[in-house]
A and B are shown apart, each in its own frame.
Chain A
Amino acid sequence: MSARKLTLALAALLAATAAPALAQSVAITGGKLVIGDGSDPIEGGTVLVQDGKVIAAGRNVAVPAGVKTIDASGKWVTPGLVVAVTNLGLLDVDAVDDSNDSDADKSPFSAALDISAAINPDAQHIKVSRAGGVTRAAVAPLGTSSIFGGQGAVIDLGADPQAITVPRAFQYVELGETGAKRAGGSRVASYVVLHNALGEAKELAVAPAGARRDDVLLSRRDAQALIPVVTGKQLLYVHVERASDIRMVLNLRAEYPALRLVIVGATEGWMVAGELARAGVPVLATPMVDLPESFEQLGSTQSNVGRMKAAGVKVSLGAFFDQPRYAPQYAGNLVALTRVPGASGLSWGQAFAAISSGPAEALGMGERFGSLRAGRAGDVVIWDGDPLEVTSGVVKVYIDGIEQSLDSHPTRLRDRYNTPNPGSLPRAYDW
């Protein structure tokens, strides 16, 4: 190649790589701006995204020449929603087993299972959730025959093949009633299984050339997968509901001080709120549970999240597997509780943070996404009204600064059936 040709080729290459960067820049102005960090909304704020990252968000943000500007007057502008316990991308139809990768209970492996292998960015549930304003999600766990549900991933919901933001972001363990059942029928068994597994991982981590004792229970792969858990390199999601189970989980750190715990579920969290707050362990609470659905949820109340928050617990919302797009409705209900005598809820800002920056921080990724503070991913949603209000809807979604399609199977059906039948031919020709 001649020098001139090389220069031209380089220029073309630069142009090619520069183009996406331009596409990843946008300024959204004039809307009611929500930063997502718990602060109050800002009237007439601007968020500036360049090269896929938030540069600035607030009242007096200058928009550089050449950056595409979107007028969001009369609308709300927020960070994309973050839902930290989902099964997004693992299934097409829950009850159609062939399409569903969320269960692996016949696998000989458990902790080693890596969810990121199965994520399908084209799944309709991802599209529908994206159109509901969800831009990042943690995917977990697998139904296994063990208390370990495998290694969950953090994904973005963009309409592109690169779904994984962070693979193997956390290990998932079931204690409480489900864990007891899987471990042999009793909580007593599940704690021994857990201690044994963490112990084998600890030994394997320091064993010369990976040598192991003869009487190990875990396969090598499962034990290896738990090494980052015991060394604190990987988060450990623990699903528990009952107050006494939460206390047992907090006690684990006496023996394994490096554990980075995240408690999932926590129906009776309000009963141990002081201990949770002192431990500084993040909680991804299932919102709105107010029925004693099981004996480990006898103390259930919708005020659970509000009471934990008031006690200083790092609590946000999680664990609504089926439809992550319901996150704003749940958050809005927590605001409603502030107007009910005797109930505890969240302020609007806290409630929105509980479905954006809160889950991101629980994942240890609050610096990367979940709010519109400078340096975070350009995940922005424009809404036609208060995003926590049930009548509001999503107008536009940006992920890493790129505007996303909001189309899906349901929207195509909507469009087909919202028009008069075109005439002589069946609707099947109307597409």
Chain B
Amino acid sequence: MKSPRRALLTAAAMALVLTGTGAGAARDDKKKDSAAVKAARDFNKDPYPSTYKPYPGRVTVITGATVFDGTGKRIEGGVVLLRDGKIAAVAGSMTDLDLPADAVRIDGTGKFVTPGIIDAHSHLGDYPSPGVEAHSDGNEMTNPTTPNVWAEHSVWPQDPGFSRAMANGGITALMVLPGSGNLMGGRGVVLKNVPARTVQGMKFPGAPYSLKMACGENPKRVYGSKGRTPSTRMGNFAVNRETWIKAQEYRQKREAGKLESRDLAMETLVGVLDGEILIQNHCYRADEMALVLDMAKEFGYKVATFHHAVESYKIGDLLKEADTCSAIWADWWGFKMESYDGIPENAGLLYKAGACVVIHSDDANGIQRLPQEAAKAQGDARRIGIDVPDADVIRWLTLNPAKAIGIDKLTGSLEAGKAADLVLWNGNPLSVYSRPEKVWVDGALLFDSADRKRRAVSDFELGQPGEGDVK
């Protein structure tokens, strides 16, 4: 049982975390600290704050649609009410809905409603289109560990990929990650999929940061080919462990009031050790994932999600126990050695094991078809006797990725009080023949297939062939 004083301090620390000052700020001997120690400890944790404000929306009610609420529930002929940018109600019928006279009423008969689709692994903005060398901003491959770099500083908000992800994929939020060339690639950022002039205008308010890590072939190839460590998988682990040891030392110094200068890399790693920054770990092979889980125990952090994870099906029990999600493709396979044991039943076998499944894209085209990818995995599961109901498959694209990137309290399901991030589909989204009809972000209608002007056109596309085309 916590003492009252300890509990109070913890609460104060929590509040400070939320307002963006250092966890050590509540120390009693604050007055004695030098200016340098204060600077290293009480730094601003949110120096590039989100400037996103929801766009104007109207009270909207959708009736008669099949609703997948993202938690695994399916409601036939459901009613979804959006008010003030939030989900106000989800119900089986129109009862007690206090609707203003000018509410927008949408007949969803024969259509489907889901939460906005969330991609836990994207490089939109940091590898934007056109994919010219001048735009290649996703991998800072000059050092095997670069936890000091932040993906948001590479994101080009004019990447035309954002609008395609919404119009064809119903994407309302996404995690933009650094690439996997480094063991520690840098911080990932969660974005609202809204057009904006600046990346700050896209940043998801209240979302935690993530640190991208990578095991396996990429880091050892990149640095091995430069004649540097790591050049082997064991080298990968050695460099990671040495770096975590430094982070632990940095954290101890900070707590002892002995830090006299800031270190961007260490601030990110200590954020992980403090549980404020999530780990998104690129890893293909089961044996390596199991080693990473032990490394996380060794240093006292948690792996939120393994990304790509083509061999997760071999260790579903370990992943369930660790409460670690697998963000996977449906059926990518065979393109590199560590993808050789990928099977299309990966998602189904993980589901059967009770582990968390997330379908991700890692691809500017795939992000436009995540429900189709999930449906492929559903079909492949069914053929080996694992029946996954549609409503659970939708969870792989909504609430599960929201959990994987730390925004599940804010979005990812159609529950009263959550953000009105949702998609009206012209058919079952798990069919190849269905597409988004309307997409709302925080209750604002940002895509409407029936209104050609309700379609974002990035600065880059103005004056180009096909400007404003249906895409």
Would A410 and B344 count as touching, CB distance under 8 A? yes
Question: Is B34's CB within 8 Å of the partner chain A?
Answer: no
Would A417 and B372 count as touching, CB distance under 8 A? no
Would B160 and A340 count as touching, CB distance under 8 A? no
Question: Is B466's CB within 8 Å of the partner chain A?
Answer: yes
Question: Is B241's CB within 8 Å of the partner chain A?
Answer: no
The segment from A228-236, A309-317, A330-338 found at the interface with B is: A330-338
Would A301 and B432 count as touching, CB distance under 8 A? no
The 8 A CB mask of B123-138 against A (1 = contact, 0 = none) is: 0000001111000000
Q: Taking CB as reference atom, which chain A residue is nearest B365?
A: A288
Would B384 and A340 count as touching, CB distance under 8 A? no
Would B335 and A332 count as touching, CB distance under 8 A? no
A388-412 interface (Cβ within 8 A of B): 388-393, 409-411
Would A391 and B334 count as touching, CB distance under 8 A? no
Question: Is B431's CB within 8 Å of the partner chain A?
Answer: yes
Q: Taking CB as reference atom, which chain B residue is nearest A338?
A: B433
The 8 A CB mask of A298-328 against B (1 = contact, 0 = none) is: 1111110000000000000000001100000
Would B129 and A293 count as touching, CB distance under 8 A? yes
Which B residues touch A299, using CB under 8 A?
464-466, 469
With A389-B432, A390-B372, A390-B375 already in contact, 20 other A-B pairs whose C-beta atoms are closer than 8 Å: A95-B217, A95-B337, A96-B336, A243-B465, A268-B465, A292-B129, A292-B460, A292-B461, A298-B130, A339-B426, A339-B435, A340-B426, A342-B452, A388-B432, A390-B379, A392-B379, A393-B379, A393-B380, A414-B343, A417-B349
Question: Is A2's CB within 8 Å of the partner chain B?
Answer: no
CA separation between A389 and B376, bound complex, in Å? Answer: 9
Would A271 and B430 count as touching, CB distance under 8 A? no
Instruction: Return the contact of B466 from the options A125, A301, A332 (Cβ within 8 A).
Output: A301
User: Min CB distance, A102 to chain B, in Å?
Assistant: 12
The 8 A CB mask of B424-449 against A (1 = contact, 0 = none) is: 00110011111100000000000001
A271-298 interface (Cβ within 8 A of B): 271, 288-295, 297-298
Would B434 and A336 count as touching, CB distance under 8 A? yes
Number of A residues contacting the other chain (C-beta, 8 Å)? 53
Which A residues touch B368, using CB under 8 A?
290
19 A-B contact pairs sorted by A residue (CB < 8 Å): A128-B334, A290-B368, A291-B364, A293-B130, A298-B130, A298-B466, A299-B464, A299-B466, A323-B333, A333-B432, A339-B433, A341-B449, A384-B383, A390-B379, A391-B430, A392-B379, A410-B344, A414-B343, A418-B349
- With a 10 A CB-CB cut-off, give which of A94, A388, A391 has the most chain B CB atoms: A391
CA separation between A243 and B342, bound complex, in Å? Answer: 39
Question: Is B63's CB within 8 Å of the partner chain A?
Answer: no
Question: Is B274's CB within 8 Å of the partner chain A?
Answer: no
Interface residues of A (CB under 8 A from B): 92-96, 124-125, 128, 243, 268, 271, 288-295, 297-303, 322-323, 329, 332-333, 335-337, 339-343, 384, 388-393, 409-411, 413-414, 417-418
Would A414 and B378 count as touching, CB distance under 8 A? no
Question: Is B114's CB within 8 Å of the partner chain A?
Answer: no
Q: Taking CB as reference atom, which chain B residue is nearest A94?
A: B335
Known contacts A95-B335, A295-B130; decide if A414 and B433 are in contact (CB<8 Å). Answer: no
Q: Taking CB as reference atom, which chain A residue is nearest B341?
A: A413
Known contacts A96-B336, A295-B132; decide if A391 and B434 are in contact (CB<8 Å). Answer: no
Would A302 and B335 count as touching, CB distance under 8 A? no
CA separation between A124 and B365, bound complex, in Å? Answer: 25
Known contacts A93-B336, A268-B465, A389-B431; decide if A340 and B130 are in contact (CB<8 Å). Answer: no
